[in-house]
Amino acid sequence: MLLRHTPDTVAERTALTINPAKTCQPIGAMYAALGINRCLPHSHGSQGCCAYHRSTLTRHYKEPVMAGTSSFTEGSSVFGGQANLLQAINNIFAIYEPEVIAVHTTCLSETIGDDITQIIAKAREENKIPKGKYVIHANTPSYVGSHVTGFANMVKGMVDYFAAADGRKENRINIIPGYVEPADMEEIKRIASDMGISTIMFPDTSNVLNGPQTGRYAMFPAGGVTVADLIRTGGSMGTVALGRLASGLAARTLDAKCKVPCEILDLPIGLMATDRFIDTLRQIAGVSVPDSLNIERGRLLDVMTDMHQYFFGRTAALAGDPDQLISLTEFLVSVDMWPIHIVTGTPGKKFESRIKEITKEVPHPVNVKATGDLFLLHQWIKNEPVDLLIGNTYMKYIARDEDIPLVRFGFPILDRIGHIYFPTIGYRGGLRLLEKILDALLDRQDRDAPEESFELVM
Amino acid sequence: MSEVLDTISPKPSALQPMAVKKELLERYPTKVARKRARQIIINEVGPDCSVPEIQSNVRTIPGIITQRGCTYAGCKGVVLGPTRDIVNITHGPIGCGFYSWLTRRNQTKPNGPTDHNFMTYCFSTDMQDEQIIFGGEKKLRQAIQEAYDILKPKAIAIFSTCPVGLIGDDVHAVAREMKEKLGINVFAFSCEGYKGVSQSAGHHIANNGIFTHVVGLDDTVSEGKFKINLLGEYNIGGDAFEIERLFKDCGLTLISTFSGNSSYDYFTNSHTADLNLIMCHRSINYVAEMMETKFGIPWIKINFIGASATAKSLRKIAAYFEDAELAARVEEVIAREMPAVEEVRAEVKTRCAGKRAMLFVGGSRAHHYQELFREIGMEIVSAGYEFAHRDDYEGRRVLPNIKVDADSRNIEELHVEPDPNRYKVRISPEQIDRLEKTGLRLKDYDGMMAEMPNGTLVIDDISQFETEKLIEIFRPDIVCAGIKEKYAIQKSGTPMKQLHSYDTGGPYAAFKGAINFYREIDRMVNSKVWKYLKAPWQEHPELAATYVWE
């Protein structure tokens, strides 16, 4: 047993987190910043934070992830990090020539209280920021929220620094895609484009973190939202924000700053959430939904009806980020699966009430916890085993110990590929998710079937 | 850059190390260039094995994209991480604990189903802003209690992250208090990330902590004639398993490995060994030094990376014990293992000889792996360490000349004295003399530069920019570095082998490991996949399209 010390008995823990289902803010901020064209994320703190975040993102995406660090030592921790950040800004523009440096703080620089706004102003005064280049920032203390909060804060930073309004409105919609994969961002753009809607999506990590092999390394790949577009977001007709936690903050900030009204929706994972997304786009853009999307929807629905017998009543345990889990749970419930153990590490009471609402017709008690961890999830599973696990790579230990199939979904996925190339959002993404779930369930059925019941046709 | 790489020679400037160095420095602002110039050295080995001075173990320049990590990573991640039966609690916000959770591929094999193994777990106090404001000691105390209640471990270690040092939580007092209360060993490490200039400071802090709180707690003397410890072997990809197999076959008794496939109990008993073997000099020479002073255990530098290095190291161990039977057994083992190695080596060499490698990794690995590459006829055009000190490059002879700077002074230096009861002379001054005459030097390490050809570039704390430049200039057939560098290098069309975590490969230690490595490098530098970088229409863009069948 790999997790041999996890007992069945659930004892309340108030201080010790074991096997977390979240990580810290700065990595989310780094990921978001990579979705700006020609942007180098910069970690203001000890260099270990930057190394850890780059390593984890690299392992998940299997792509280069570059970022600078202020490389604090003991002195900077005592006297403040201003000198380090000024020096870093100077060096980064001289050596790597980005268009934007996106600074995020760490628990260290937050605790000593470095005022990044002031330091950036000083850098500008001292001509350390070349003409036409930008330094933006987000406060991302690691002891608040989670990586999702960090993502949200950096996206808000993009609005704070760039979005501008001159009173004119253009026929265009901003889309904040949420903390999703590059493939998902690509898919969201495709859906909008199929509907004939002009959009600006930010951040946009497609073609940054799923780049092609060309034999030529470019520190700043072709992808990412451009600064020009970020500025223009203030003149869009409206904003559609996907995922309340990851995208809501920036959408509301943009509304307050530039009077761009926003709709905050669930991540379009599964049939119903995708329906709501497309219907919202249709209504605010005043377009009709093209047949191509109706066909995609019909195909997803076809699999949901054709294979219903395999989904019905199957239990699942889920761990991940709140925005993902809310839509994923709704999707599973829509095919009559029973997600009965659900944890996220990200704090927030709304999560629990939303999940309870979504699962209220599941004919089985549902365990749900925000600020939970995988240790607790495992204990629930020991007490009430399930047919399927859905979550990140760290769930493979539970999967092996309890002999339950695992569908990898969320962050980080360190041991499989696919997540950066194939979307799980939209109708096509839903189809892929269902295929993965079916594969897992049917592979298990094949494995466990006695010889006389081993079926060719399923 | 993107052409078929192995048919292309390095640019002419590669033959002129001064020109390469100049090219590396050109882009930098003056102050940065001045500093980097002292960390980029053109190797020159003198007749007495003297080498040029290199600046190392100095602060990373802010804004430079570095390979380095932090003190916490060195302490919790590297040294304590691979020990399976200590509950390692990270005291801090969730990130640090999360990132150091199972990411180093330290394999471990508990003795049975009831043996403790906490390595698959990540324990954290997950500090919230409330603890940052009001202090985190209460939560830490409670976390230790909860860990004890659920897991009943023999030992609990606490690791401080950046904010803990700033808000002034006294983790050591909490450890003492909980040790008293629970009756198990509880000890803490002040390994905040901002201390020191790299993970190296964390190794030092970890070694001090293990030595103070763990080593020497159990005086049981194991049976066995030749008792050794293996220091600085982290069992990445199963390296230690392979070395353990060899030791057993040679008749050596391994008391403890620091720290791969390691256990708390083995640490407590490690002072009963008669010889310490140092693999990774950088991360652990401190423990060997302190064990020699306190208990009288001599140490030698060994290297089990590379087949001939392994044979040499085994012979060194046999020479130390001056036992004919052991020497014969060692020869038997070498003779038994070598034919298989030679066979693969000869085959692989036909395809790899003359190819070029660069290594930028670790604080010993960039040296050790050169052996393996040389064995298959490959050339090392440039190498350097991520977190080494001058002695790792230039050899321990420079130790007296190393000036201790403010960052190193922040790391506690333990004052160690001979233990009145347990200090035991293992080897007499006459024996030492005799051994030295045969070439077996105790307490010594020549460093990396002495074994590198003249004119090669030795680069400390290489930056992303320099890595890119070097690839452009040297057009190496393979680069060895870590995960953060991997895909940028591969996107340039150059295969990249991780030597921190081995990617998914290993073991690479000892004889069977050497075979694995030859095969892996052969696969990588001769792989077909790098030849498809250009589509046919990109190779001959001047052709106009016509329908040829019309």
- Residue B389 is encoded by which pair of tokens? 């000190």
- Number of domains into which chain B is organized: 1
CA-based nearest residue to B35, from B60, B65, B68, B63 = B60
Nearest chain B Cα distance for residue A274, angstroms: 32
Which residues neighbour B111 within 8 Å (Cβ) at sequence distance 6 or greater? none
Q: Helix A426-448 crosses helix A291-306 at what angle (to 10 degrees)? A: 20
* Sequence ranges of the domains in chain A: 7-15+302-448, 25-162, 170-294
Q: Which of B61, B118, B124 sits opposite A5 (nearest CB)?
A: B118
- Does domain A7-15+302-448 fall under CATH 3.40.50.1980? My reply is yes
CA-based nearest residue to B95, from A28, A74, A76 = A28
Q: Which residue has the tokens 């270990």?
A: A48
User: What's the pLDDT at B310?
Assistant: 98
Q: Which amino acid makes up residue B473?
A: I
User: What's the pLDDT at B546?
Assistant: 66
Q: Which of A111, A143, A216 sits opposite B2 (nearest CB)?
A: A216
Peptide bond connecting B259 to the previous residue in cis, omega within 30 degrees of 0: yes
Whether the per-residue pLDDT at B8 is higher than 70: the answer is no
Cα B167 from Cα A379, distance rounded (Å): 34
DSSP per-residue string spanning A323-391: HHHHHHHHHHHHTT-EEEEEE-SS--HHHHHHHHHHTTT-SS--EEETT-BHHHHHHHHHHS--SEEEE
- Percent of chain A's residues with pLDDT above 90: 98
CA B282, A58, B28: angle at the middle one, nearest 5?
65
Mean pLDDT of A419-441: 98
User: What's the pLDDT at B4?
Assistant: 42
Whether the per-residue pLDDT at B1 is higher than 50: the answer is no
pLDDT bucket at B5, cuts 50 / 70 / 90: very low
What are the Cα distances from residue B424, in Å, to A269, B291, B319?
68, 11, 20
Q: Is A66's CB within 8 Å of B129's CB?
A: no
Whether the per-residue pLDDT at B12 is higher than 70: the answer is no
Cα B457 from Cα B17, distance rounded (Å): 7
Q: Which of A23, A77, A92 sits opposite B63 (nearest CB)?
A: A92
B73 is an active site residue:
yes
Has residue B168 been placed in a domain?
yes
| Catalytic member of B104, B116, B345, B365 | B104
User: Would you give the DSSP letter of residue A11?
Assistant: -
Mean pLDDT of B281-310: 97
Which residues neighbour B541 within 8 Å (Cβ) at sequence distance 6 or greater? none
Q: Give the full edge-to-edge strand order of the sheet including A68-69.
A: A68-69, A39-44, A100-105, A134-138
Which residue of chain B is at minimal alpha-carbon distance from A46? B194
Which residue of chain B is at minimal alpha-carbon distance from A27? B95
Whether the per-residue pLDDT at B3 is higher than 70: the answer is no
Which residue of chain B is at minimal alpha-carbon distance from A71? B62
Q: Is A66's CB within 8 Å of B464's CB?
A: yes
Nearest chain A Cα distance for residue B234, angstroms: 19
Cα A433 from Cα A407, distance rounded (Å): 9
Q: At A440, which helix (H) or strand (E)?
A: helix A426-448
Mean pLDDT of B330-340: 98
> Which phi and psi (to 5°) does residue A41 adopt?
-65, 150
| CB proximity B116 to A under 8 Å | yes
Has residue B166 been placed in a domain?
yes
pLDDT in tens, A132-191: 999 999 999 999 999 999 999 999 999 999 999 999 999 999 999 999 999 999 999 999
Q: Is B95's CB within 8 Å of A26's CB?
A: yes
Cα A372 from Cα A367, distance rounded (Å): 11
Q: Which B residues, 127 through 156, put their C-beta within 8 Å of a C-beta on chain A?
A: 127-129, 131-132, 139-143, 145-147, 149-151
pLDDT in tens, A386-400: 999 999 999 999 999
Which residues on chain B are in Cβ contact (under 8 Å) with A21? none
Mean pLDDT of A441-457: 97
Mean pLDDT of B472-483: 97
CATH of the domain at B165: 3.40.50.1980
Q: Is B488's CB within 8 Å of A74's CB?
A: no
Whether the per-residue pLDDT at A250 is higher than 90: the answer is yes
- Percent of chain B's residues with pLDDT above 90: 92
Q: Which B residues, 307 through 346, put their C-beta within 8 Å of a C-beta on chain A?
A: none
Spell out a b/e string for A400-410, using b for 16 or more CB atoms within 10 Å of the CB, else e: ebbebbbbbbb
**Beta pairing, strands A367-369 & A315-319:** unpaired
What mean pLDDT, rounded, does chain B reach?
Answer: 95
* Residue A335 CA neighbour count, 13 Å, CB half: 31
Cα B46 from Cα B350, distance rounded (Å): 32
Cα B544 from Cα A86, distance rounded (Å): 53
Q: Which A residues, 144 through 163, put their C-beta within 8 Å of a C-beta on chain B?
A: 144, 146
Cβ count near A340 (within 10 Å): 21
Torsion (CA) B234, B239, B241, B244 in degrees, nearest 10? -90
Q: Which of B93, B150, B193 sits opposite A48 (nearest CB)?
A: B193
Biggest alpha carbon–alpha carbon distance for chain B:
97
Q: Which residues pair with B127 in a beta bridge?
A: none
Which residues neighbour B389 within 8 Å (Cβ) at sequence distance 6 or greater? B56, B57, B200, B282, B363, B402
Top residue of A22, A42, A46, A128 to mutate, by most chain B CBs within 10 Å, is A46
Which residues on chain A are in Cβ contact (under 8 Å) with B92? 107, 142
Describe chain A by its helix, strand, coil percentages, rounded to 5: 45, 15, 40
CA B373, B375, B378: angle at the middle one, nearest 5?
45
pLDDT bucket at B539, cuts 50 / 70 / 90: confident
Whether the per-residue pLDDT at B487 is higher than 70: the answer is yes
Cβ count near A226 (within 10 Å): 16
| CB proximity A334 to B under 8 Å | no
Q: Is A51's CB within 8 Å of B69's CB?
A: yes
pLDDT in tens, B41-96: 999 999 988 999 999 999 999 999 999 999 999 999 999 999 999 999 999 999 99
Mean pLDDT of A355-359: 98
The residue ranges of DSSP E strands in B460-501, in sequence order, are 478-481, 496-498
Which residue of chain B is at minimal alpha-carbon distance from A67? B65
Which of helix, strand or coil describes residue B418?
A: coil
pLDDT bucket at B540, cuts 50 / 70 / 90: confident
Whether the per-residue pLDDT at A405 is higher than 70: the answer is yes
Has residue B475 been placed in a domain?
no
pLDDT bucket at B10, cuts 50 / 70 / 90: confident
Has residue B108 been placed in a domain?
yes
**CATH number for domain A25-162, candidates 3.10.20.90, 3.40.50.1980, 3.40.50.2300, 3.40.50.720:** 3.40.50.1980
User: What's the pLDDT at B545?
Assistant: 61
- Residue B225 is encoded by which pair of tokens? 């004639």
Q: Which amino acid makes up residue A400?
A: R
Has residue B182 been placed in a domain?
yes
B104 is an active site residue:
yes
**CATH number for domain A170-294, candidates 3.30.1240.10, 3.40.50.300, 3.40.50.1980, 3.40.50.720:** 3.40.50.1980
Whether the per-residue pLDDT at B14 is higher than 80: the answer is no
Has residue B30 been placed in a domain?
no
What are the Cα distances from residue B414, in Å, to A185, A214, B411?
54, 53, 9
Q: What domain range includes position B91?
A: 71-193
Cα A169 from Cα A262, distance rounded (Å): 14
Has residue B93 been placed in a domain?
yes
| CB proximity A283 to B under 8 Å | no
The residue ranges of DSSP E strands in A64-130, in sequence order, are 68-69, 100-105
| Catalytic member of B203, B271, B281, B356 | B203
Q: pTM to 2 decimals?
A: 0.97
Q: Is B488's CB within 8 Å of A219's CB?
A: yes
- Residue B538 is encoded by which pair of tokens? 């990109």
Cα B72 from Cα A71, distance rounded (Å): 14
Has residue B80 been placed in a domain?
yes
